[in-house]
Amino acid sequence: MNNLSLLMDGFATILTWNHLMIMVIGVMLGMLVGVLPGLGAPNGVSLLLPLTFTMDPVSAIILLSCMYWGALFGGSTTSILFNIPGEPSSVATTFDGYPMARNGEATRALTLAFMSAGLGALAGVVMITLLANWVAQFGLKFSSPEYFAVYFLAFCSFIGMSSSAPSKTLVSMMLGLAFATVGMDSVSGGLRLTFGIPDLVKGISFLVAVMGLFGIAELMVTTEEGLSFNGIKSRIRIKDILRTMAELPRYWVSLVRSILIGIWMGITPAGPTAASFMSHGLAKRFSRHPERFGKGEPNGIVSPEAADHSAGTSALLPMLALGVPGSATAAVMMGGLMIWGLTPGPMLFITRPDFVWGLIASMYLGNVVAVILVLATVPLYASILRVPFAIIGPVIVAVIFTGVYQVANSTFDFWLLLCFALLGYLFKKLDYPVAPLVLTMVLGHRAEEAFRQSMVMSDGSLTIFWSNSLVTTIMGLGALMLVWPLISKLVGLRGWRQRLHRQKPGDHKPSTPDSRA
């Protein structure tokens, strides 16, 4: 059991008071950004990233990943108590979570959600523990053409799996790739796409883009909706928590199904949002009492939550082992890794095993810490949402501006932020997906480098992308993903995608379900 001993080493790395404290801080901050409108996991991680530049990478990744878990839990809290999904991926939790809370069973709904989410996350980490080394070994066989093929596959899956129009996904994705190329060309050293503006020489930071697209834009949509919070008062009683835990084994079928869906959708870049919708849809289809769904059915809470969190954790496997993030938040974290001087991908398992296995070990512990903390502090976080938006909104904007300034100490980034905010606002209201833009912005350099190196290897011939069985298979999978909407239409698998469209909560916080948080 090589993996097990590596995992034990990881635990040895992280089991210090210092790291435990970072975990608690990360989870608490994560819950805060998960609860607050306009601040989600990608944004929270982006805001925190500049503060980690001087930290050692192990502490930094623990802080950021724990913030991610906290944000996922915070998002479920507002879904259940306020009918407002704090994260796009917790939209499906509102379907049954809010009705159950309204029926006076808020504690039961919250406990069901948190426990199944915790189990889902643990299953995801177990999967990572077992598969990480194997995937990394596999990744070591890759050279430039294979890497470009993997990126091609990821880009194609966006187009194939997204619920938006394929042409809109394409535009969003390609804009991200283009923004990544602005500034210094890392291969030739020359400048490009700067249009004579000296501030563009340093390039466009993906952090600024995330804060504009996810932060300010989300707040703009929120203010426009004239959001008012009508929360359900909740008192958490230990007795109710224990009783709900005892009934959890009854939903094991839903749990297992949802976890499998979540892991699959997390590794392929379909993301947690699609996973939670699909899982809720399938739970209803296989249920003996489908009419109970939407009225507070426990299976309707367990399924999306378990899928959401197992997908959220699983999304870190391709990021770590191959350097291809499975969600927007994973993309931001991967950007962080590169800033700290680490190269995500199979070599990381050889050069920095302490980092990789420390992160994996912290995922076990972080999720346990998160479940306990979230149960203990729900009333506190729920009270934050009762502060009027006219106070919270400006504070969030000011925090985002300070965050943007810290990225590069540049005031030009303020204007970039406003441009991205406008773009994000238009995209959100017109059903363009935003997450692909961020992912391609982080991946842009690596994708281009892989492409150019392949071209050099083949002397400019595109045939290198089907020159051996491995690269041909990956490219073929990519092409398959590209035409997947057509295929699924023919086979009649479009049920859950239509459901995804129909159940968009138009009168609440408008979250495009396909923005993979």
Partner 1 sequence: MTHNGISRYSMEIATALLTGAIGLAICYGAWQVGTGWTPSGPDSGYFPFWIGVLVVAGSLVNLLRTVIGHRHKDEVFLDAVRLRSLARFTLPIIGFAVISLLLGLYVGTTLYVLFAMRLQGHYAWWKSLASGIAISVCFYLLFELVFQVPLLKGPLEHAFGIY
Q: Name the residues that contact partner 1, by CB under 8 A.
A: 50-51, 165, 167-168, 170-171, 174-175, 177-178, 181, 185, 187-188, 190-195, 216, 219-220, 223-224, 226, 388-391, 393-395, 397-398, 401-402, 405-406, 409, 411, 414-415, 417-418, 421, 426-427, 429-430, 432, 448, 451-453, 455-456, 460
90 with 387: CB under 8 angstroms?
no
Q: Which residue has the tokens 């408008």?
A: 510
Q: Can you say how many angstroms the Cα of residue 337 is from the centroid of all Cα atoms in its chain?
A: 16
SS3 293: coil
Q: Which is nearer to partner 1, 15 or 456 (CB)?
A: 456
CB of 181 to partner 1, least distance (A): 4
CA–CA dist 120, 317 (Å, integer): 15
CA–CA dist 111, 465 (Å, integer): 49
Quick one: angle between helices 298-314 and 91-100, nearest 10? 150
Q: Which is nearer to partner 1, 353 or 505 (CB)?
A: 505
Q: Which is nearer to partner 1, 390 or 490 (CB)?
A: 390
DSSP state of 55: S
CA–CA dist 417, 434 (Å, integer): 15
CB of 229 to partner 1, least distance (A): 14
Q: Which is nearer to partner 1, 98 or 179 (CB)?
A: 179
CB of 170 to partner 1, least distance (A): 4
CA–CA dist 9, 133 (Å, integer): 15
Q: Where are the alpha helices (DSSP H) in 459-491?
A: 469-482, 484-491
Q: Which is nearer to partner 1, 250 or 489 (CB)?
A: 489
CB of 169 to partner 1, least distance (A): 8
Q: How many CB atoms lie within 10 A of CB 286?
A: 13
Q: Which is nearer to partner 1, 223 or 473 (CB)?
A: 223
Q: Which is nearer to partner 1, 56 or 224 (CB)?
A: 224
Q: Which is nearer to partner 1, 348 or 404 (CB)?
A: 404
CB of 123 to partner 1, least distance (A): 36
Q: How many CB atoms lie within 10 A of CB 235?
A: 9
Q: Which is nearer to partner 1, 102 or 504 (CB)?
A: 504
3-state helix, strand, coil split of the chain in percent (to 5) is 75, 0, 20
Tell me the chain's radius of gyration from C-alpha atoms. Answer: 22
CB of 398 to partner 1, least distance (A): 5
b (16+ CB within 10 A) / e for 137-171: eebeebebbbbbbbbbbbbbbbbbbbbbeeebbbb
CB of 204 to partner 1, least distance (A): 12
Longest dimension (CA), the chain: 70
CA–CA dist 53, 57 (Å, integer): 9
CB of 490 to partner 1, least distance (A): 21
Q: Supply φ then ψ for residue 307, to 5 degrees.
A: -70, -45
Q: Which is nearer to partner 1, 55 or 368 (CB)?
A: 55
CB of 508 to partner 1, least distance (A): 15
- Taking CA atoms, 508 is separated from 79, 83, 181, 434, in Å, by 11, 8, 37, 19
Q: Which is nearer to partner 1, 130 or 395 (CB)?
A: 395
CB of 406 to partner 1, least distance (A): 6
Checking phi first, is residue 321 left (phi over 0); if not, alpha (psi -120 to 50) or beta? alpha
CB of 283 to partner 1, least distance (A): 32
